Chains A and B, each alone.
Chain A
């Protein structure tokens, strides 16, 4: 039995805004996600050329080589608008904070022997710079990409990456008893240690990549798609086997977030590729040009952590990325 509540009933004269209704078709009510992103980017009659890119329009699809008939098709399967995104992240942050407190209170980091602490510091803490570059790259797409579904999701991804960089930094602080010594050492390694240089060179290359869709594929599918499994899955398992379960607690956000955001990354690439053979070819070419470079850049890190097993392990990770690309309709 249900309880029958009466409220004043007034017939609405329409369900939603015209541009939303046109996409949904008759008789359908939109979600808040749809009302919050579709048609939000100005479409025409721009008044001035951007002084920072005078050859193009203020909003210009030609900042990427891919073409979509309708960029509002690049929707997020998570249906994140600001409200749902920030509420979800707020919950994750709550639980992540408790993990930090727990690890700190129980001194769990100290229970890891020094050699493993050193490995953790050396392999994981410099990743804060990688996450920072990912933040900048998604900021680039939010600034110069096309269509509100894309730019809004990229700006959430940008902030997510900043959070990853900051969680990793907090790990570094924890490892050094709240001194910045570990962070400083990680930065010095990032700048000078031969183990990190191939990756830094690659990351800097992404930061001068101007085609936003290429950058999306390289950063969000290839770089994140390899770095995260390598560190927060494979290396995590190794650490756990050596008494480092605390690391799993400190990287819980990264693991959950990677799985969740990969759904969106794949959906965008899949939709771009499904649009036309030309788009699919472009994406395929980006994967085939960049993925070997990413693999090469990660080899020293994998070698440091996994020695003789590194090469095979990295092959496995790269195969997983190729499988994702293939599922997105790329011939990579």
Chain B
């Protein structure tokens, strides 16, 4: 027992090592190569193949707690839409999603003043209700969102002309940190109203959402975690915080892997020692 205790590394050393291992690559960029994956290319191609002047929904279903993972991909996707002349209608199933979208839009607009509110972009704000709200949007969009986030009637915005239900939209993209989120968009928008759905999720929820990327195309690709955000930035040629974070991510994973290996080697040694009766 005393032997086992001596071999136990104080976990605070590991925390410190991870902290330094993540901080240093952010300061001194290494530039590890980033490979794109099929799921991310599917999302990218969906935007690429959407005709200019089409209208899409970007649903911001997250809050600051998931910002490091979802914000970079949402920003890359919105920028990509504007580059392709695609009109962006923002909704939010999470209250703070509204501010997340506004932060991205104001950042993009500061670099590209040609993007106009009400013409290229509108933020319809937060609506509670989750799956029930999405079902109602599929039947009568304007009843669910009669006004934008500032209380202005949507009839005053050119971007909202002709929007009655999901049939008038090219696709829906949800940046989702949980429930309600992308799962509900798939269940209603694709599986009931047969419109393409894509999106991005946090790494934690990715395993439960990935099965929707299947032969039935319940999801058209999926951006899962910071790695996928970096891939999307690479494909859309707009490097951002996800790309700069990938070196740190790789180093941190390396440290975790090394410690898992060391832990397992020690575990085996202890087992052998126990068998020998030491």
A and B part of one assembly: no
